[in-house]
Structure 1
Amino acid sequence: MTYHEVPHIVIKNNSQKGGYFFEDILTEEILTDVCRKVTGTSEYTVEFDNEGGYNKGRLATILYKGSKIYVSFSQAGKVEGRNYNFQSLTTALVRFYRGSRHNSRICFYFLPQEGNRETEYFSFMYRVMATAGVEFINDEQYLTQTIEKFASVQDIINARDRLREGKRNNNSSYLTKSKHGVAEIYAKTYGANKKEAVLISLAASHISKKIRIYEIREQNISVLPKPDKEALEMLPNVEIINTDMQIEIREFVRRNSLRSPRYIFNLLDRLGPKKCTLCDCEIPELIEGAHIWPVADIKADKSIPNDQKLNYAIDGHNGIWLCENHHKMFDEGLIIIEHDGTIRLKDDLNDNDKSFIITATTNTLLPDGVISEEAEIYLAKRDEASTYEASNYITI
């Protein structure tokens, strides 16, 4: 890195989108303000690089006294699009992570914009950015609220779940926790979703001992962008797993209690965050995806072509979220689910056992949408294979 006694700002001039030059947007007044805020001095030299290529990440780099400061700029003009600022910022952040972070910083600067830049989603993403190590250098000028880092992965999960309420068709990537407390990110690999997933992954890496990222194929793209993946792979607490169908097939062959990445993703996509359908437990480490038509019965059904069996096993309609206790009750036939969503209890249990199950089962009628038309078919398949008589059950 070249030593600069006076801050030297380098900016790739050509924009990636929009057909403009950054020298027309980043005025002397803006660059002076940026330089003063990040270096303490208003003096600088600037180099707008017009050579081949375009500006990735709406990014400027400031070289000063052996340090390198990355500054990503917001979109100028009108606030547009739910993800535009954050896609660019993620690209800049990945470049920061891939470089030497010794004597380096990554910052974000708000350019003047018209519109609401403090929507619930924007405010959530600002917190994700801060958790990932981004410094906001002029937020007090444009935001009414202080940006606070997330303290834990569970905090991110809770905040994200609040954003999802009533928006089940969001179809974005998902963050949850496994049985052993590992932060799991189901990262879609296409469009804005991939950048959001990478940003959340980088943030989670700061506040969790272990991060497991599952690449979820979308639009025939099976992996995250190479630079993004390389940045994540450089982190010692991150593991990336590509969820190709070969993994799913191996899991299906090996296990009757299939908990494949694709199955969990499909449940998250259909039902939302991990929460027991039959009680109030929302602790993700204790919540499991319970098959309606068990995997063992799917495997044993000789009328189904082998290549179709896996599709049934990983279908999000063939499952519900249950805590470990209710999952075991369901698998052992202590409780059954009727086609109208009613929960019924095995009648020949002793009174103490009945009392325990009744007390633990606070939801005796499944919420609307849990038993879809497809799920009803799986319930019928479960009934066909079951050795339990429905007449031996009572309504709770």
Structure 2
Amino acid sequence: MPTSVTAAVSRGAGQEFLIEELLLEDPRPDEILVRYSAAGLCHTDLEAAAGHLPTPHPVVLGHEGAGTVEAVGTAVTGFTPGDSVVLSLDSCGTCRNCLAGQPAYCDHHIPLNFHSRRADGSVGLRDASGRPVHDHFFGQSSFASHGLAHSRGLVKVPAGLPLSMLAPLGCGLITGAGAVLNSLRVQAGSTVAVFGLGAVGLAALMAAAASGATRIIAVDRNSERLSLAAELGATEVIDATTANTTEAVMDLTGGRGVDHSVESTGAIPVMNTAVAVLAPLGSAAILGVAVLDAALQANAFELLKGRTVTGSVMGHQAPGLLIPRLLDLHQQGRFPLEHLVTTYPLTDIDRAIADVGAGTTVKAVLTHHA
């Protein structure tokens, strides 16, 4: 029996989301039906809605879902109805990188996460006129009350935790925190600079504090974000609207530079700065998504001093391992993600988008009510 679904539908590039009633197929043998409680709003969702990604329309987006398992297909193991879950990316599970525990670098990442359909080309949603609506975006399409997912994209979480707070762990927060914990491997006593204080950058900052970094320099153009960064562990803040950020970081470090830097803006000049402020043997993690064909610039001679530059997505570790790590830190009060989240009803998705764009909300989470 198909499930009635309330969803935010993107029907064309650049169009506003429409709240619609759809019908969702029963789960196939390898699928799980999830009742979503919440879904984080991520820049990637907006890029797909704008037509900048290889995602067809009409489509239900959303890739930071959290909810409860309602039904499982006959071939599914490890999950049962009633399980609380956070959803992350989809992956094939069989390629070299998946087998190495790095599903974010799956050989089939683009079709599985952006093409918004099953491997056989089918979709699970129909609109009121019986026309297909694309789903399976990142294996979940969580801007909806219900969706179909695969077990490899689900992570069980303890019952009773506030799922609206946990939803951003599916992408944005693990991207920032995982870069610090796994890509850079920040150690106690380190100096870290974080460029860009959105949800990704602030997650990186909190992870740096949890790792024992003794100096954390936060850089942004938004004074409220800089104040929040100070509350979350930044030891110094730099307002990029009034300071030359390269000179400011070097001045704060006595001309040495930082051991690690994290860039989360997607702006090439900021990426260049994140590399330029590295100390010898320092490492920079580039997390922001730049325009296609954009070129990063670095001083080749300075790189000879043991400096490294790395890209990192989705935390550089399987979400099934990284999400529980961050939950443990959260339970200890060392990863206070609740300070980043503002909730909105799904029907207020346009207001959430506007608030994020204006910089008044760090991480918008859309909530669903039965």
TM-score w.r.t. length of structure 1: 0.28
Of the two, which has the highest radius of gyration?
1
Structure with greater helix share of residues: 1
Structure with greater strand share of residues: 2
